[in-house]
Structure 1
Amino acid sequence: MTEHSDLPADVALERFRELLRIPTVSHADQADIDWAPFDEFLAALVRLYPRTHAVLGREVIAGHSLLYHWSGATSADPLVLMAHLDVVPVAPEEWTHPPFAAEIIGTGEDAEIRARGAIDDKGSLVAILEAVEHLVESGHAPARDVYLSFGHNEETAGDGAQEIVRVLQSRGVRPGLVLDEGGAVVDGVVPGVTVPTAMVGVAERGVMTVHLTAREAGGHASTPPVMPATVRLARAIDRVHRRPFPTRIAPPVRALFATLAPHTHGPLRWVFAHLAVTGPLLAAVFPRLGPEMNALVRTTAVATELSGAPAENVLATTARASINIRLLTGDTVASAERHVRRAVADPSIEVDVRHGSDPSPVSPWQGEPWRRIATAVASALGEDIVTTPYIQLGASDSRWFTSLSAHVYRFTPFHLTRAERDALHSHNERIRVDVWLRGIGFYRDLIRAS
């Protein structure tokens, strides 16, 4: 196996595979969660990383979340590295290899580990621990305090990370830099850009769920009314779909294009460099370039869960749809609710915000914390990689840390293909071995710089 930056790659890889085999699966209904694998995972960390556990303080928070503390020369402006140990459920029949076998497929640079959690998010969690274990073994003494925050239910409630934040807040901890999962090193995401880009989230979109509900008296399906509840609900969903949120270039996206302009070929170089003039055109065109580009320039809404009658020959007395909305920086839960109500335009449809949080504050993409991230990208992942700000498209546990720090960033230090990114929360999740090993070097260099 390839060696990366003096790290014992074979040992690291086997520890990673062992932890991937533990099915720490989250479910929205906690009654469905098997907590035994979570207990097994926590115990395995102590056994697999003895030097880390000999030097760092360790607390179990909210049942299964973990908070580690590595004392440095000063407690001011500490570094917080985040990850989560839970994974989303699997449909084993959809996988070409068992989702918790952590098999290595291929050889050389093509070797990859296939397992649920390989990227999201045990890839980062284990890479962080490998970096710490290596640095402790080498005698490294951090200049600042270092905290490791590992939530146990990021994929569902996120209250493990919330409790960690409350603990740190009660102790007066004010991090100088927080780094959680987020954007990766990618190729070809932005049209015209030919260099690899490290997409570091300086903000993340808000998230909310709206229920659309249609009601009727019910009865036998053999004698339906002219406009049954299911039809009215379908019409409401269609209206939301046909009236998307307006497009615009939010400040972090503007910074993304400005950063990449010097690395863009053809006419787009001028377009990206003159967003004051071209911004409205870009905002209108980008939704046609795929779902990722669409999500960068507008709040998105999509129907997910649907429910209706309890039997095929019964009229639904209540038909309901969940609309998942991701709020672009500048929009709010209140403004999105108004948009949905205007789009539905039907007083017989109940519009109910079940839960929601506004977009996170925007962290600066200049200054010393940002430079530390960019420097670690260049030293560990490649000097040809351009580090750029962007808006994190999904939600993460990092949003809870914005109450503690103005420097909260979201970046997963792996060079991922589009197919690898598409496998997140889907079948055949995987990561190339060499890519994962380089990620360890990123965390090592970031801790050294802190």
Structure 2
Amino acid sequence: MSATDEVAAGSAARDTEALERFRTLLRIPTMSRNAVEETDWAAFDAFVDALPRLYPRVHAELERERHGDRGHALLYRWRGRDAAGAPTVLMAHYDVVPATEEGWDHPPFAAELTGRGDDRLLWARGTLDDKGAAVAILEAVEALLADGVVPAHDVYLSFGNDEETFGSGARGIVEVLRSRGVRPALVLDEGGAVIEGVFPGIRKPIAVVGVSEKGITTVRLTVEQHGGHASTPPRTTATVRLARAITRLNARPFPARLTETNLLMVETLGAHATGPLRAVFTRARRLQPLLRWVFTRLGDETRAIVRTTTAVTQLHGSLAANALPETAEAVVNVRIAVGSTVAETLQHLRRAIHDPHVRIEAVDANEPSPVSPTSGPQWTRVASAISAVHPDAIATPYIMLGASDGRHFTAISDAVYRFTPFEMSAEERGTLHARNERIGVATWLRGIRFYEEMLRGA
């Protein structure tokens, strides 16, 4: 066997071992539940207990702390050569949304492999959201430790245990770091990915890096009135009034706006566009009204980029089929655009619904996150790591539509970025929080390389 063949064989063996460790952790059903009493904490204990066995160097050379009520939120410290420098934080969460085997092509916690070569797929809940990133980070650190790498400055690894529900694990870790006077130079959490086919006229893959997050607010719409027997209903029941409020809200969307981040994203992509939209994208600032119109019509994702969105996710009425409801309630999930506020959002809802009999209240209100720098050394570190692993991709800032634990770290860092280093097709993105979640094996292995690049720059 030639030296080249030996290197290739060794690399393949390491990849196989890494993949098996990943599959081991995917098989542990660390499902977060809003009803905390229904959570299987034994699964979380099993996950935490498995890590020292799977990553012995990490646990021999890094300091590990357990936080949270049950010690499931994990914080690792990798001491650098210069302890006085500002550290880097790499984040992920290892809890997943619940799943049953119903409707899955492969059981969600079996971690089955299909396909061959570069087309191999790994099927499991958590492959994309977000054990894939958590395990890739651990693989990167384990590999660098084996190579004798010591970062210039401290590196922290923060692994949340309840991002999908309350985010208390990450908040607790932030408070611990704040109490110690730790102010990270850069924080990287899950978020954007390497995508294609979202923006017309762009043929290259796009690496979208979240520099902020929309605010998340749960709004409850409530109608209360006299109940009674369903055989003698009034002209307007509580449910009718509530339904009218919902349709009014749906008919009056929030105005579209282009933030500075939106404009920078369009300008960045415009330089690589082809066709008639190139002229529009490269003149973004002068053609903002046209761009707003274009974004609201390209699709659901682009429409959500430029406006606050509302989605009615839960409805409650009577407890019996033949009884009029005394209380009718709708829960609205609101994602507040950067540049807006909770107060402005509630004002729009009241004007749109325009019914004093409908009570509108914010149950859980969170403002949009501050915007992290889109130039300078921290942005360059992220963009350079992307370029090293995905040389054809266009790195661009964007506003993250979902929510991450990273938003809590804005309290202690000015540079919080949201990027998951995996290629995700539209179909694969559609499996997030849905059935048949899966990841390409080659995609996941490239994710490990991305984190290695990030850590070498620390």
TM-score by length of 1: 0.98
Return closer, same or farther for 1:261/1:3 CA change in 2, 3 Å cut-off.
farther
Question: Residue type of the partner of 1:276?
Answer: R
2:183 to 166, 171, 174: 174
Aligned to 2:333: 324
Within 1, Cα distance between the matches of 2:177 and 2:224? Answer: 46
Offset at 1:191?
Answer: 1.4
Offset at 1:7?
Answer: 7.9
Match of 2:233, SS state, is: coil
Offset at 1:285?
Answer: 2.2
The number of residues matched between the two structures is: 448
Does the alignment pair 1:374 with 2:383? yes
Within 2, Cα distance between the matches of 1:92 and 1:297? Answer: 37
Does the alignment pair 1:295 with 2:304? yes
Does the alignment pair 1:122 with 2:131? yes
Match of 1:8, SS state, is: helix
Greater CA drift, 389-398 or 264-273:
264-273
Contact 1:5 1:441 in 2 (8 A): no
Within 2, Cα distance between the matches of 1:408 and 1:5? Answer: 33
- Give the root-mean-square deviation of aligned CA atoms: 1.2
Question: Residue type of the partner of 1:443?
Answer: Y
1:21 to 16, 20, 27: 27
Contact 2:170 2:405 in 1 (8 A): yes
Question: Residue type of the partner of 1:104?
Answer: L
Structure 1 residue runs of 4+, over 2 Å off?
2-7
For residues 76-95 of structure 1, the C-alpha deviation after alignment (integer angstroms, 9 at most, x for no partner) is 22110000010001142121
Contact 1:7 1:134 in 2 (8 A): no
Within 1, Cα distance between the matches of 2:407 and 2:457? Answer: 24
Question: Residue type of the partner of 1:147?
Answer: Y
Question: Residue type of the partner of 2:227?
Answer: G
Offset at 1:49?
Answer: 0.4
Does the alignment pair 1:385 with 2:387? no
Contact 2:263 2:285 in 1 (8 A): no
Match of 2:87, SS state, is: strand
Within 2, Cα distance between the matches of 1:46 and 1:3? Answer: 26
Aligned to 2:245: 236
Within 2, Cα distance between the matches of 1:409 and 1:141? Answer: 23
Match of 1:398, SS state, is: helix
Within 2, Cα distance between the matches of 1:389 and 1:3? Answer: 38
Structure 2 counterparts to residues 417-432 of structure 1, below 5 A:
417-432=425-440
Structure 2 counterparts to residues 10-49 of structure 1, below 5 A:
10-49=16-55
Does the alignment pair 1:105 with 2:114? yes
Does the alignment pair 1:433 with 2:429? no
For residues 386-410 of structure 1, the C-alpha deviation after alignment (integer angstroms, 9 at most, x for no partner) is 1110001101000000011110000
Match of 2:323, SS state, is: coil
Within 2, Cα distance between the matches of 1:291 and 1:232? Answer: 28
Structure 2 counterparts to residues 2-401 of structure 1, below 5 A:
8-62=14-68, 63=70, 64-75=72-83, 76-380=85-389, 382-401=390-409
Offset at 1:366?
Answer: 0.3
Match of 1:132, SS state, is: helix
Unaligned 5+ residue runs, structure 1?
A: none
Within 2, Cα distance between the matches of 1:96 and 1:314? Answer: 41
Contact 1:360 1:399 in 2 (8 A): yes
Question: Residue type of the partner of 2:352?
Answer: A
Match of 2:222, SS state, is: strand
Return closer, same or farther for 1:405/1:386 CA change in 2, 3 Å cut-off.
same
Aligned to 1:445: 453
Return closer, same or farther for 1:92/1:3 CA change in 2, 3 Å cut-off.
farther
Return closer, same or farther for 1:164/1:25 CA change in 2, 3 Å cut-off.
same
